């Protein structure tokens, strides 16, 4: 059991490293867009699609499940983590807003460049700060679960292979993977 929770924590930490690469690419595209340069909207759409499919649908719910387990076995450690669920919702809402803006651009419905740039910058800053907070505050609390979690805790967590950074990347993300390999050698 403890190995399962430890493995899940390892995956969450790896997710954060992977997200950092995507956020750097997103910031680069936002900077190009802000300088009235040629931004790659397909790349931005691919990033936002991935963030919807994996972190919002798998990574954050995994953290939420571990937080629930922490509340049941060590409520004293969970008291300082009350902002996690609202923060996950806020990140998802920001992402949804950007996806709508990118969809509007795709159909030429007219989204002002400076609004999209501001929203992209806000998203990058918010998610970067969130990742740093989790690495420093949340994951150390989750380490306690390795030794005290109930036997069914790891079984309740959805086990999904990362469709971009996993061992068999999905063809859906081939263009995004190419961008990451070109920009960062990933």
102-126 residue pLDDT tens: 988 765 666 677 899 999 999 999 9
Question: How many Cβ atoms from other residues are within 10 Å of residue 35's Cβ?
Answer: 10
Res 1: pLDDT: 39
- pTM of the shown model: 0.89
Going from the C-alpha of 17 to that of each of 3, 20, 41, 74, 173, the distances in angstroms are: 21, 5, 23, 27, 18
| Pairwise CA distance, residues 126 & 137, whole Å | 16
Res 19: pLDDT: 96
| Pairwise CA distance, residues 79 & 75, whole Å | 6
Question: How many Cβ atoms from other residues are within 10 Å of residue 100's Cβ?
Answer: 14
What is the chain's Cα-based Rg?
Answer: 18
Domains annotated for the chain, with CATH where assigned, are 2-184 (1.20.120.520)
The mean per-residue pLDDT over the stretch 86-90 comes to 93
pLDDT of 178 strictly over 60: yes
CA diameter of the chain: 54
């Amino acid at each position: 059991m403890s190995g399962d929770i430890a493995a899940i924590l390892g995956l969450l930490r790896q997710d954060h490293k992977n997200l950092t690469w995507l956020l750097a690419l997103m910031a680069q595209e936002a900077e190009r867009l802000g300088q009235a340069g040629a931004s790659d909207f397909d790349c931005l759409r691919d990033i936002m699609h991935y963030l919807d499919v994996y972190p919002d649908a798998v990574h954050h719910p995994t953290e939420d499940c571990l937080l629930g387990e922490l509340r049941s076995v060590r409520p004293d450690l969970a008291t300082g983590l009350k902002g996690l669920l609202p923060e996950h919702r806020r990140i998802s809402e920001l992402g949804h807003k950007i996806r709508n803006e990118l969809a509007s651009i795709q159909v030429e419905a007219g989204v002002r460049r400076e609004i999209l740039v501001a929203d992209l910058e806000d998203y990058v800053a918010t998610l970067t700060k969130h990742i740093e907070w989790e690495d420093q505050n949340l994951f150390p609390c989750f380490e306690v679960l390795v030794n005290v979690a109930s036997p069914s805790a790891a079984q309740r967590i959805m086990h999904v292979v990362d469709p971009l950074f996993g061992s068999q990347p999905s063809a859906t993300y081939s263009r995004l993977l190419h961008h990451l390999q070109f920009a960062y050698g990933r």
